Each structure stands twice: as C-alpha cells, then as structure tokens.
C-alpha cells in the first residue's frame, strides 16, 4: 500500500487526493500538514 503525505491541503490538492483512486493503486493519506489543520479535520477531510 502506498502511503502519501500532503503538504498544503488547498482545494486543488484535496480534489487530487480524492481522485487518486482512478489509478487503482492502493493508497492511504498518512499525513497532512497545513496551517488550517483544525478546520480541515472539522470538515471531515483526511
């Protein structure tokens, strides 16, 4: 399984992270680094 870390979770990256499944490569988002971490978690994103 591919483990992915994301630095800067803006709108474009959020969309790309959700669409990676199209490549049929098993992956999990292991870490997200963003100054808005609390807001992102409250929205239920990774």
- 28 contact partners, CB below 8 Å, separation of at least 6: 1, 2, 3, 4
pLDDT (0 to 100) of residue 3: 93
Domains in the chain: boundaries: 2-42
pLDDT tens by residue, the chain, 46 residues: 889 888 888 778 778 877 877 888 898 888 888 898 788 778 876 5
């Amino acid at each position: 399984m591919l483990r992915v870390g994301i630095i800067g979770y803006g709108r474009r990256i959020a969309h790309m992270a959700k669409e990676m499944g199209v490549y049929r490569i098993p992956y999990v988002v292991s870490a997200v680094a963003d100054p808005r971490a609390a807001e992102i978690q409250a929205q239920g994103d990774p």
